[in-house]
A and B are shown apart, each in its own frame.
Chain A
Amino acid sequence: MLAGVFGDAFRFMPNHFSLLLEKTGETAELAFVALGIALVLALPLGLWLGHRHRGLLLALSVSSAGRSLPSVVLIGLGIGILGVGFWNNTVALVVLAIAPILTNAYFAIDGVDRDVVEAARGMGLTETQILTRVELPLGLPLLLTGLNIAAVFVIATATIAGIFGGGGLGDIMARQVTYGLGGVFAAAIWVAGLALLTAAVLGVAQRAASRRMAPKT
Chain B
Amino acid sequence: MSGMRLAGGGPVIPNFGHPSACIKHNGWFCTDWISKHWGDTLQPALIQHIQLTLIAVGAGFGIAFVLALIGFRWRVFDAPLASFSDLLYAIPSLALFQLLVPLTGLTVTTVEIALTSYTLFILYRNIIAGLRAVPADVLESARGMGLTRLQTFFRVELPLAAPAILGGLRIATVATISIATVAAFLIQDGLGAPIFDAIGTPDLFKTELLVSGGMAILLALTADFLLAFVQRLLTPWSRLR
Contact = CB atoms under 8 A, between A and B. Distances in A.
Interface of A is mostly: helix
Contacts of B98: 173, 184-185, 187-188
Contacts of A165: 6
A156 B95 CA distance: 8
A68 B178 contact: yes
Nearest to B217: A68
Chain B interface extent, by class: 35 or more
A83 to B, nearest CB: 9
Interface in A153-192: 155-156, 159-160, 163-165, 170, 173-177, 184-185, 187-189, 191-192
Interface in B19-59: none
A76 B209 contact: yes
A152 B89 CA distance: 8
B1 interface: yes
Contact of B185 (A163, A196, A198, A203): A163
Contact of B220 (A68, A77, A159, A191): A68
A160 B94 contact: yes
B171 interface: yes
B178 A64 contact: no
Contacts of B209: 73, 76-77, 80
Contacts of A170: 94
Contacts of B199: 72, 75-76, 79, 164
B221 interface: yes
* Contact size range, A: 35 or more
Contact of B216 (A1, A73, A164, A173): A73
Given A67-B175, A159-B95, A188-B95, A2 B213 contact: no
Given A76-B209, A196-B87, A70 B195 contact: yes
**Which of A5, A174, A175, A185 is most buried by chain B, counting CB atoms within 10 A of its CB?**
A174
A69 B206 CA distance: 17
B221 A5 contact: no
In this complex, the member of A1, A67, A72 whose beta carbon has the largest number of chain B beta carbons within 10 angstroms is A72
B64 interface: no
B217 A73 contact: yes
A79 B198 CA distance: 11
A163 B200 CA distance: 10
B177 interface: yes
B99 A199 contact: no
A176 B174 contact: no
Interface in B156-180: 171, 174-175, 177-179
B95 A163 contact: no
A77 B207 CA distance: 11
Contact of A203 (B1, B86, B103, B198): B86
A76 B195 contact: yes
Contacts of A79: 199, 204
B4 interface: yes
A198 B195 CA distance: 29
B185 A76 contact: no
A68 B213 contact: no
Interface in B177-211: 177-179, 181-182, 184-185, 192, 195-196, 198-199, 204, 206, 209
A79 B204 CA distance: 8
Contacts of A24: none
Contacts of A175: 3, 7
A70 B6 contact: no
A163 B1 CA distance: 11
Contact of B224 (A64, A176, A189): A64
Q: Which 9 A/B pairs are nearest by Cβ-Cβ distance?
A: A68-B220, A73-B213, A156-B92, A174-B3, A188-B98, A199-B90, A188-B95, A70-B181, A5-B102
Interface of B: 1, 3-4, 6-7, 86-87, 89-96, 98-99, 102-103, 171, 174-175, 177-179, 181-182, 184-185, 192, 195-196, 198-199, 204, 206, 209, 213, 216-217, 220-221, 224
6 contacts: A5-B102, A73-B216, A79-B204, A152-B89, A195-B90, A196-B90
